[in-house]
Amino acid sequence: MVVTKTETYTHIKPTQISVSQFFSAFKERHKEFKGEHLIIDFSEKINIEIKEILLFLKLSVQHRKNGTSFVLVCEGISIDDLPDELNVVPTFNEALDILEMDAIERDLGF
């Protein structure tokens, strides 16, 4: 995985062949990202299935409880088929927008 940290978020791009392989590697390193806003970018991965995206549900809920954002970038996934606890967007720019909206919600106490 390729990890790029900025002042406001950490951008992670998988290099593993499958989503499940990436998920296993990510879970092993997850403690490194505690307290950080994460964008996991699957934009170069084609044909991701909903069941693969759902692997990240518990981590997304955990980040939200800790006051941090967790966003997945993935094209071709209908957000209507996913739980509200998962932030899935089709582009990196939309992921940045989600981070901003989450920050506003936290500032307002939601």
- Predicted confidence band of residue 47 (pLDDT cuts 50, 70, 90): confident
Smallest Cα–Cα separation from 87: which of 60, 108, 50, 66? 60
Residue 109 has a pLDDT of 76
Reported pTM: 0.90
Residue 43, helix vs strand vs coil: coil
pLDDT single digits (tens) 1-38:
899 999 999 999 998 888 889 999 999 998 999 899 99
Domain ranges in the chain are 2-108
Fold of 2-108: Transcription Regulator spoIIAA (3.30.750)
